[in-house]
Amino acid sequence: MARPSGISARPEQPAEFDVVIVGAGFAGLYAVHRLRELGLAVRCYDAASGVGGTWFWNRYPGARCDVESMDYSYSFSPELEQEWSWTERYPAQPEILRYLNHVADRFDLRRDIQLETRVTGASYDETAGRWEVRTGQGDVARARFLVIATGCLSAARIPDFPGLGSFQGATYHTADWPDEGVDFTGKRVGVIGTGSSGTQAIPLIAAQAAHTTVFQRTANFSLPARNRPLDREYERALKARYQEHREFVRYTPNGTARRNSDRSALEASAEERRTEYESRWQEGGGGFIGAFNDLLKNQDANDTAAEFLRSKIREIVRDPRVADLLSPRGFPVGSKRVTVDTDYYATFNRPDVTLVDVHSAPIEEITPTGIRTADASYELDAIVFATGFDAITGAVLAIDPRGRGGLHLRDKWSAGPRTYLGLVTAGFPNLFLVTGPGSPSVISNMVVSIEQHVDFIADHLVYLNKNGLEVTEADAAAEDAWMDHVNEVAAGTLFVKGNSWYVGANVPGKPRIFMPYVGGVGVYRRKCEDIAASDYPGFRTT
Ligand code: NAP
């Protein structure tokens, strides 16, 4: 690709910037804008051929956000939020991608973004106080600060199935979907994975394919999205108080306008619970989990929600054997990400859809003509891997930054990620993570958490500059205390009981650590505000 002049530099002639930003999704785009406003010279790299991050890659049929559009958008510009108009309650991938392209143009961000350039390594030069960043294209850039904005769900993974390369049909991963789409008409399609991506894609694949076989290892709790065109009156009313609404959302438990009850499920009668669950089910979306205040804390309370959701599956799915297989058991609702779908369960009433239990009979091999499990073989023309990501740490460790004394982040995090506030990690000066492990990140509305982190980083850089400081770094003791706090808060919830990607359970050999901070978006924000207002305790600055 031809690069705009002045952007590229070869190893013998490194380019100098104040900040290198990795990733041009929601986080990277805002970081370019915010840090450039401070007068800093920034360079943003992204491996993709366009901006958009996760919304660039995840083009699978049905890809849609499970946070409502008017909340899943930037709040930093009142003009932007007034002029942009979403079409649906939950935005679909193409619309989010259009929005992010609009943002890139509107704020003239592209001149500082170099696409089709994967960052492959970064090392801190202690003598010069500079990060040296290397790319797969041979670029070398030097910068005082490195901001890793690679996203929590960007390192897609396909399990290491024997025979993977032997399949003669087409294979796809939901997070690396062809630009031009895929036509499954007349095809026998196998889908492996029933998380958020599989649950969204399966109804649309099934509507097109000759036959769809769904390979399910763990049944997930799924809620109907009840997506619909955005009500214009609702939009007008919200826009009239948009900034006030944003400020409210910033201090909520998860960064959305979800209604959170202050009542225990166990204080309510069975009839009251049923009424409340039914009303949230009818409302659609992830608001179900806010029905009572102890659903993520108390197993007995959670059991009532789980049983309600299983009863819904039995109502929708006609074949009792299939309904039973689709009914999640053995982990609390919400401890694995609850999926939000359109017609997922009803899809299993189709005569051309087969559900295969690969928990009791695991996939043993991908063969040239299909998939062989422990008890049967399935002939297929195409396989869709909806098998998820090496979440939260995967993309950061693919860069494997090297800090003081050449320390590899991969070694430092060998027993699990360690950070202070999910923003910085001891031994890696002037390196910031946006929505890193130990911050609310994936347990929150990502856009709210991204803006908060980028603003924190920007304010911190202003502080350093004002005080003539060159280097900032997590204090090791503060990091230990923060990790203890993250673990303690998680241990008081049911989150730790699920074998989820939140704990790295989906990647063989990955250390089992509950990675996000579940103390709440508002609580976390206040902690960060207090730290910023008190000259950044926990940061070693020189
Ligand atoms: P995921 O939730 O990790 O789901 C991966 C699926 O693949 C699971 O059903 C998993 O089963 C299965 N799987 C993995 N390895 C397997 C194996 N060896 N054999 C059989 N099955 C296997 O990934 P995802 O669906 O891509 O979603 C990841 C996250 O991205 C979501 O939780 C969400 O945060 C985000 N996302 C959001 C949206 C949205 O906003 N609506 C849409 C898509 C994704 P097990 O459960 O047994 O491991």
Atom 14 in ligand 1: residue holding the nearest Cα: 387
Strand pairing of 382-385 and 42-45? unpaired
Query: CB within 6 Å of ligand 1 — which residues?
Result: 64-66, 153, 159, 174, 192-198, 200, 215, 217-218, 337, 340, 358, 363, 386-389, 442, 501, 506
Ligand 1 pocket mutation pick from 64, 88, 153 by most atoms within 8 angstroms of CB: 153
Atom of ligand 1 nearest to the CA of 58: 43
Atom 37 in ligand 1: residue holding the nearest Cα: 196
pLDDT tens column, 158-196: 999 999 999 999 999 999 999 999 999 999 999 999 999
pLDDT tens column, 40-99: 999 999 999 999 999 999 999 999 999 999 999 999 999 999 999 999 999 999 999 999
The whole-number pLDDT of residue 310 equals 98
The whole-number pLDDT of residue 14 equals 73
The whole-number pLDDT of residue 13 equals 61
pLDDT tens column, 199-211: 999 999 999 999 9
Atom of ligand 1 nearest to the CA of 175: 26
The whole-number pLDDT of residue 333 equals 97
Q: How close is the Cα of 7 to the center of ligand 1, in Å?
A: 37
Angle CA 134–32–248, to nearest 5:
130
The pTM (predicted TM-score) of the whole model is: 0.96
Atom of ligand 1 nearest to the CA of 339: 41
Helices (H) and strands (E) in the chain, counts: 16, 19
Cα distance between residue 139 and residue 269, in whole Å: 64
Q: How close is the Cα of 192 to the center of ligand 1, in Å?
A: 9
Q: Is 140 exposed, middle or buried (0-12, 13-18, 19+ CB in 10 A)?
A: middle
Q: Which residues pair with 190 in a beta bridge?
A: 213, 383
Q: How close is the Cα of 70 to the center of ligand 1, in Å?
A: 25
Q: Beta-strand (E) ranges in 405-527?
A: 431-433, 472-474
Atom 23 in ligand 1: residue holding the nearest Cα: 388
Q: How close is the Cα of 388 to the center of ligand 1, in Å?
A: 4
Low pLDDT (below 50) residues in the chain: 1-11
